[in-house]
Structure 1
Amino acid sequence: MDQIVYTRENQEILESSFEFSYEGKTYIISLQVIDHMIEISVILEEQTSFQWKDLFSIEQIYKLQNFFLQFTSLQKVYEIFSKLMKNCIKSITKSDNKMQIQLEFEQILDKIQFFIELHQCEINTDQIVVKLCEKISEIETKTNKQFEQLVKDQQTQTEQIKDYLAKQIEQMKEFLVGQIQSLKVDHQNQIQEIKKKINQIEDKIQFNNIFLKEELEMIKQWIEMIYERCKDKRKVIFFIKTIENKRFGFYADCQIKNYSGNFLAQNPNNIFLFSLDLKKKYTSNEINNSNAFYSNNQLLAVGGGFDIKLYTNSNTTKDNYVDAKSYGKKEGINKYDLNGGIDNYTTSEVEIFEIIDG
């Protein structure tokens, strides 16, 4: 509680005030000693244009409670009131234009209670201005402190950001230098790799162009001729291109899996060979060929005498083989016609398609 002593109209005035909250509202209580009288006033912060106050003589104070009879000095009563009003307010009740304040404090043996009744009056304009100026000053002080703290925090954050960015830049420099060195070291290897990829792309483009439109139509018709017989079975067609650019293959409706050394027998016309170069289709020499098709994880074979034998690593071995024994007799095929008269071959490309219904 702030205590102020000043003179007004040749009167010495002793004044003190304090702020407290009650039931969620803020009040300011002011005590003044004026010409042998005590003035008590209460201002509700939310309604600064009104206050409740009254003047009490020392005799009136005595009547409030016998407790004060022991004090003969107004100054002593003022001091006691200041402590009570600050620490011992039990309740505040407002009705009409009156306010009743209940104070309660403890003696050694019992609690003492008494009431002060104040009357509502309007605060004059000067008091309102003073009050508002005080509030504005408090807000300015608080705002200035908050702004100063904000500036300090921003300066600290700015320095932290600068340090962070500087570290990131250094790390980026180190990374780029390392990348440049790596590119220099690997330059020749990268060029060779790019050339290799270009060659692979060129080979792929060439292979995609090895089948002419009329050849695709021809193969389509071969498949359509056996479509009803192959319905609901796995239908697979192999296109083979050798490093000597010979183009041939076979069609089978047999599932490709590991048959553990056992050939599959052929149902009539469910397997045939073909040559794109000769534009011919070759069928089985027998209606039922007991050694028509074989596959495992190393090779695929059509015909017991290996009319076509194709290894899984066909592009790195010369052991791939053609020998017309079980197929093409009716079409007049010779032993190695599929491969242009040569038995062994190495592939440059192999494409496998499954024919799906529709």
Structure 2
Amino acid sequence: MSNLDRQAAMSPCGGRGFVVAEPVRELLAPRRVPLGESTEVRRLLPNLGRRMIGAWCFVDHYGPDDIADEPGMQVPPHPHMGLQTVSWLHEGEVLHRDSVGSLQTIRPRELGLMTSGSAISHSEESPRPHARFLHGAQLWVALPDSHRRVEPHFEHHPELPHVTASGLTATLILGELDGITSPGTTYSPIVGADLSLARGTETSVPLEPDFEYAVLSMSGEAHVDGVPVLPGSMLYLGCGRRELPLRAESDAALMLLGGEPFEEEIVMWWNFIGRSHEDIAQAREDWMSSTRFGHVESYGGDRLSAPELPPVALKPRGRVR
């Protein structure tokens, strides 16, 4: 997923100075951002108040949108560096193409995981023909410095492990939860899980007290640690929890995101994550000069151009604005 904002702002992130060490309930409101020809997303990270949850640094929620008579998601080839992209669907399909030769249709509750490493480019589009509804989330994971130049690659995991309890099914997207492990490759301690709750369910999910967490509401009416979280919003929970109480007022779907607080300070601009202004400027130059990021084969259109860099040097600072 690309950040298509033509006025792309620098996002200084990371470092432990702003991690909330105790449990909190901080509701994060989304910012609405157009994506492609007919899709609008609700951007939860980076947020005015908080920029990272563990290594999670970018979260977009979209839909459910009726795209029966629309092109749906149409994101031209664009570059990534220093991060992993996570594609997660509840409805619809997304066709992924990339510069290492991957061609994969991603369907609901299948994991599409792209590791950019030093350089990759990809496109995302609704297939033709496509399902009537499109609903999902796109997320980024920052790579630690020791792994941010790994070979770029794409993984598709159609079958993922589950944790079940009365009224709850948790599909493990990344990391570990309650003794089970996702097949998706990770480079730092992290967890991502899709939680399906039946109406009237009251239960709890085990957590790691050293992780910080947030919950994104995908659909339905649910209370997270007593706080109602509406679809398209996210509740930041801080650290220091061993379990998370959940209550569903209707059938509901949530995404649990967490991880060990990301110690390194990073610079995130457009679709790049680096450690300095020079990292970002070089990546932009390489993309605009058609070097390093490869070519997405068989895409029927032009690739995206990078926005202009801001007039001041990009500097890594902290986790919150």
Normalised-by-shorter TM-score class: under 0.3
Which of 1 and 2 has higher RCO (CA within 8 Å, sep 6+)? 2
Structure (1/2) with the larger strand percentage: 2
Q: Which one has a bigger Cα radius of gyration?
A: 1
TM-score of the superposition, structure 1-length normalised?
A: 0.20
**Whose helix proportion is higher, 1 or 2?**
1
TM-score using structure 2 length: 0.22
